Structure 1
Amino acid sequence: MTYCVGLLLNKGLVFMSDTRTNAGVDNISTVTKMKVWSRPGDRFLCLLSAGNLATTQATISLLEERGLHPSQRNPSLFEQPSMFQTAMLVGETLKEVISYTTPTGQQADSRFAGTFLLGGQIKGGKPRLFMIYPEGNFIEAGEDNPFFQIGEHKYGRPIIVRTYDPNMSVENAVKLMLVSFDSTIKSNLSVGMPIDLQTYRTDALEAGYHQRFDERDPYYQTIANGWSFALKDAFDRLPPFVPKDA
């Protein structure tokens, strides 16, 4: 399993993904689920993946190969005029990979399925964020759904829903997402460290700050321990239950 988050802010985009992949409890490894493409001054793209690893890696490899050797039939990511067209290209490529790896054709519940989060900005447009499904279609983040999660998201969702503010700084968004990941990691063994972070600031048109957090990272430890203490302190401050007939 995995956990990936893409967050849309007024000031830019923040992406975070875990790196755990497993084929059973005795076969666990670390694989990045984040891919970044940047052509400074022209575009920035970040792709997060969840699902069958062979499917998602094959999709990314095809996108990269066709980026180096584009054709009319197989255009390049770097030739797309908008983020919408880029999302269409990723979706079509994902659908193509699933169709030739699944004997009966692509299906959303297939063991060969994969899901992507695509975010970025192309010169002349605004930062945009999409969730791309195994069928090749997609939805876009906006005011009503300003962030997307893929993978094992239920444990880390409440803190984002309660705390997200479109005007928050990129730095506070990173803090928020680390709390979300810490909650997920503590609740689900299929999600694990290290965690990859990528930021993007509006109109920069190049990759922003990138970092990989492991269990020993001092800031991650501060967040994890501080959040645990804050939750316990908040619980202790709540009034005790008193039976009505007491």
Structure 2
Amino acid sequence: MTYAVGMRLNRGLVFMSDTRTNAGVDNVSTFNKMFNWTVEGDRSITLLSAGNLATTQATISLLEERTKAPEDRSPSILEAPTMFQVAQLVAATLNDVIEGHSRAGQQADSAFHATLILGGQIKGGPSRLFLIYPEGNFIEAGEDTPFFQIGETKYGRPILVRAFDPDMSFSETVKLLLVSFDSTIKANLSVGAPLDLLLYEEDSLTAGTRSRFEPDDQYFRTISEGWGDALKVALSKLPAYEA
């Protein structure tokens, strides 16, 4: 299982994903689920993945190969003129990979599904954020839906719904996301650190600032313990139930 979040702020885009994959309690591994393509001064594109690992790796590999192949290749996300067209390319690639499994004789094709969060900015347009489904369709974030989650979403969603503000600073947003991830990690052992973070400043057209929170990261531990203590204090201040 995976947990990943993409957020659209007034200041730019924020992405966070865990790195845990597992095929049973005795087979736990760490894999990168955050990918970025950047042409300095022209575009920055970030992709988060959740779902079948073979499907997501094949999709990423195809997207990467198409940025390097000869002129007779398939369209590249580094040449698409808008983020909407990038979303179309990524969605079609994901759908092709899933259908390829089916044509190869796989029976339970739902087991090979994957979901993606795509965000970025191309020169001349604003930053945009999309949620791409395995069927090859997608939706875009807006004022009413300013963030997307994929994977194990239910445990970390309440704090995002209650506390998200598009005017938040990057610092405040990272704090909010760490609380969301901490809640998910505590509730589901299939989600875990290291946690990857990418901060993209609007109109910078750079790769953004990327960092990683290891399992023993002191700031992450401080947030986790502080949030737990704060919940206990808040609960104690609520009015008592009288039978």
What range is the shorter-chain TM-score in?
A: over 0.9
Which whole-Å CA distance do the structure 2 matches of 1:176 and 1:72 have between them? Answer: 45
Describe the shift of the 1:216–1:33 C-alpha distance in structure 2 as closer, same or farther (beyond 3 A).
same
Q: Is the 8 A contact 2:95 2:136 kept in 1?
A: yes
Give the corresponding residue for 2:120.
120
Which residue does 1:156 correspond to in 2? Answer: 156
Match of 2:14 in 1: 14
Question: Quick one: structure 1 residues 182 and 10, their matched pair in 2 at CA, closer, same or farther if it must change by over 3 Å?
Answer: same
Three-state SS of the structure 2 residue aligned to 1:79 is coil
Change (3 A) 1:21 1:46: same
> What TM-score, normalized to structure 2?
0.96
Distance 1:163 1:105, change over 3 A: farther
Residue 3 (structure 1) aligned with residue 6 (structure 2): no
Aligned residues, how many? 243
Partner of 2:33: 33
Cα drift, residue 200 of structure 1: 0.2
**Corresponding residue for residue 145 of structure 2:** 145
Question: How far apart in 2 are the matches of 1:147 and 1:124?
Answer: 23
Query: 2:19 touches 2:196 (CA, 8 Å); kept in 1?
Result: yes
- Kept in 2, the 8 Å contact 1:11–1:167? The answer is yes
Equivalent in the alignment of 1:174? 174
Contact 2:66 2:73 in 1 (8 A): no
Matched with 1:88 is 88
- The answer to whether the Cα contact below 8 Å between 2:98 and 2:109 also exists between their aligned partners in 1 is no
Query: CA shift at 1:208, angstroms?
Result: 1.6
Which structure 2 segments of 5+ residues have no match? none
Task: Say which SS state the counterpart of residue 236 (structure 1) adopts.
Answer: helix
Do 1:108 and 1:134's aligned partners in 2 also have CA atoms closer than 8 Å?
no
Q: Contact (CA 8 Å) 2:102, 2:109: kept in 1 or not?
A: no
CA separation of 1:127/1:108 partners in 2, compared to 1, >3 Å: closer, same or farther? farther
Amino acid at match of 1:86: V
- 1:77 is displaced (CA, Å) by 1.1
Q: Does structure 2 retain, via aligned residues, the 8 Å contact 1:115–1:131?
A: yes
The 8 Å contact of residues 98 and 105 in structure 1, kept in 2 or not, is answered as no
Give the 4+ runs in structure 1 shifted more than 2 A. 70-73, 103-109
Q: Which amino acid in structure 1 is aligned with residue 163 of structure 2?
A: T
Q: In the alignment, residue 216 of structure 1 is paired with which amino acid?
A: D
Q: Could you report, residue by residue, the CA deviation over 1:163-186 in whole angstroms, capped at 9, with x for unpaired residues?
A: 000111111111100100000000
Amino acid at match of 2:90: V
> Within 5 A, what are the aligned runs for 1:69-84?
69=69, 71=71, 74-84=74-84
Which whole-Å CA distance do the structure 2 matches of 1:65 and 1:109 have between them? Answer: 24
Query: Per the alignment, do residues 199 and 69 of structure 1 end up closer, same or farther by CA in structure 2, a change over 3 Å counting?
Result: same
2:21–2:28: 8 Å Cα contact kept in structure 1? yes
SS in 1 for 2:24: coil
Q: Which amino acid aligns with 1:241?
A: Y
Q: Structure 2 vs 1, CA of residues 223 and 49 (structure 1 numbering), >3 Å: closer, same or farther?
A: same
Structure 2 counterpart of 1:177, one-letter code: L
- The SS at the match of 2:92 is helix
Question: How much identity, in percent, do the aligned residues show?
Answer: 65
State the shift of 1:209 in Å: 1.4
Q: 1:42 to 1:153 in 2, by over 3 A?
A: same
TM-score, normalised by the number of residues in structure 1: 0.95
Relative distance call for 1:103 and 1:109 in structure 2 (3 A) is closer
